[in-house]
Amino acid sequence: MKKVKLVAVLMVTILVIVSCRDNNNPVDTEKTYTSVGFSDERVGKILETNCTTSGCHAGSNPANGLSLESHGNLMLGSSSRAYKETTNGGGAVVIPFRPEESLLYRMISGQTTPSMPMGRGILASGDIEIIKTWIENGARDENDVVPLPGEGYTVYACSQNADRINVVDGDLNNVIRIINTDFISENDAPHMVKYSDGYIYATTIKSGKLLKIRSDDFTIVTATEGLEYPGMIQINTSGTKAYVSRSSTAPGSYSSIYEINLADMKLIREIVLPVEGIPHGIALSHDDKTLYVANLTKNRISIVDAETGDLKNDISLSGSVDHQPMQTAISPDDKYLYISARGTGKLLVMDTGSLEIISEVAVGPGPMHLAIKSDGSKIYVPTMMNGKVNVVTFDGSEWTKTGEISHPAFMMPHGCDITPDDKFLYVSFRNTEGMYQPHYPNPLNPAPGLLAVIDLRNETVLKYTEIGAYGSGLTVKK
């Protein structure tokens, strides 16, 4: 069997070498080229000379679904990288301003295995430098425009161990930009992200900040500092205030969450809770009047008047059963509070009128963030310890687990959010144990986090892409 596999590999390698012309010299600038759309026409010439021959990255079936025949095709990225029995991996090969994060540059400069062009010597150093400089200057098109997310969905996803927020073009499902969140010598740990009224807001656990970032140019404009292990974020409907909880990994015990004025990013107050612990999961009613705070280590839900900061009620969950309420989400009609119970592997349903738990649905070990369809009919619950996304259906009277969405690449799901039209669900994955191995190993990111998009019309995995280490909180721009 091993001999048969070896022969197959050698035959494929020979075919690739034959199909890609040998050229270790700089591009011939006198030749007429058809690669189009680059601000620096030399980039198109280099790619056409070395990469767009038959059998490589051109034509109707380019290798790994990646065509390099134009700037537009290049920015579409790869769409059919193989992983185990699947072929729906992919992602960006160029990230503007980030050559070291761009697969194209890493491959032509010999930083990955295999290097490109396949089976041949690396490009001339001058050609490599041309491409590197073009990416450093923003990977601009022929109109000198830096690629930005399209008119469709935009997803912001934290990479907690990589000090970055990934900006994902939902039309391409590729990382289109990286926002740097590195402020201190240790890992800042960007944890959760939200969007409101032209700004991106993100918490950094270790450096204790709530960042305010312009969404048009991804510049950090200001921050609330001095927060102790900030975690989850809820923003009111007018975009004037944010409520920030504590990270689930925060050491010690805490008895408050933060209320912050988003206009000047100043702390309004700390909302005091009745019991010390880890107040982590938070949900805000759609009328902005009621805040629900889950105390992860004390098995409680505190209910707060969001306008005054006063405590309205404090509910102990199921007596001696330690549910460890991890995350919360409010139903579209505000009738139900959904709680992911880390300790029992359940989705708990609380009636917000009676404040009683009226349903418990077993979903699997380590339930995390929650996403709810706009009509309330389905709740999606990623479970970290088995790598699945659970589907819980609400028929108007009962909640039932009706399915599981899985994929060989799914390792330690964390965050999730649904597009406004309910068509797609985005899920982030930590992969901190490195169980998923990247198609092209990267020494800078040996255990990459992942971002997957699930088509909710048939509940199948459309695509997954690699992001920075430890994919954590995410949000879809709404």
Amino acid at 404: E
pLDDT of amino acid 35: 56
CA distance 170 to 417: 12
3-state secondary structure 27-89: CCCCCCCCCECECCHHHHHHHHHHHCCCCCCCCCCCHHHCCCCEHHHHHHCEEEEEECCEEEE
Length of the chain: 478
> Closest Cα to residue 307, out of 276, 337, 284, 279?
284
In the predicted structure, residue 105 carries a pLDDT above the cut 80? yes
Angle among Cα 192, 194, 199 to the nearest 5 degrees reads 130
Residue whose entry in the numeric block shows the structure tokens 């504590």:
246
Amino acid identity, position 136:
E
Query: Could you give the percent of the chain with pLDDT greater than 90?
Result: 83
pLDDT tops 70 at residue 3: no
Given a cut of 70, whether residue 16 has pLDDT beyond it is no
Domains identified in the chain and CATH numbers? 25-136 (no CATH), 154-476 (2.130.10.10)
Question: In terms of pLDDT, which residue wins out, 440 or 156?
Answer: 156
- What pLDDT score does 44 carry? 92
Place 413 in a pLDDT band, splitting at 50, 70 and 90. Answer: very high
Residue 270 to residue 335: CA distance in whole angstroms: 27
Q: What are the tokens at 395?
A: 């028929």
CA-closest candidate to residue 363, choices 417, 323, 400: 400
Contact 413, 363 (CB under 8 A): no
Quote the tokens at residue 6: 């070896």
Give residue-wise pLDDT tens across range 344-365: 999 999 999 999 999 999 999 9
- The better pLDDT of the pair 122, 408 is held by 408
In this predicted model, what pLDDT tens digit does every residue of 369-387 receive, in sequence order? 999 999 999 999 999 999 9
Whether the per-residue pLDDT at 34 is higher than 90: the answer is no
Q: Looking at residue 27, what is its pLDDT? A: 42
Higher pLDDT among residues 242 and 30, named by residue: 242
Round to whole Å and give the CA distance between 193 and 445.
22
> Is-contact 300 292, C-beta < 8 A?
no
Per-residue pLDDT tens for 265-307?
Answer: 999 999 999 999 999 999 999 999 999 999 999 999 999 999 9
Over range 162-174, report the average pLDDT: 96
CA triplet 457, 461, 464: central angle to 5 degrees? 135
Spatial neighbors of 8 by CB under 8 A, at least 6 apart, are none
d(CA 366, CA 411): 12
Q: Facing residues of 114 across strands? A: none
Give, in degrees to the nearest 5, the angle at Cα 185 between 135 and 471. Answer: 60
This prediction has a pTM of 0.92
Average pLDDT over residues 187-199: 98
In the predicted model, is pLDDT for residue 25 greater than 60?
Answer: no
Give the pLDDT score at 340: 98
Per the DSSP assignment, residues forming a β-bridge with 362 are: 346
Nearest to 328 by CA among 336, 320, 316, 317: 336
Q: Which residues contact 288 (CB under 8 A, 6 or more apart)?
A: 236, 237, 238, 306, 307
306: three-class secondary structure by DSSP: coil
* 253 pLDDT more than 60: yes
CB 173, CB 452: distance < 8 Å? no
CA-wise closest residue to 90 among 470, 438, 411, 444 = 438
Q: What is the mean pLDDT of residues 124-152?
A: 95
Q: What does the angle CA 343 – CA 344 – CA 347 come to, to the nearest 5 degrees?
A: 110
Greatest alpha-carbon pair distance for the chain in Å reads: 80
Dump pLDDT digits (tens) for 53-88.
Answer: 756 898 888 888 999 999 999 999 999 999 999 999
Measure the CA–CA gap between 57 and 342, rounded to whole angstroms.
46
With 50 as the cut, is the pLDDT of residue 6 above it?
no
CA dist., res. 397 & res. 381, Å (int): 19
The chain-wide mean pLDDT, for the chain, equals: 91
Binned at pLDDT 50, 70 and 90, residue 7 comes out as very low
Q: What are the structure tokens assigned to 436, written together?
A: 């998923």
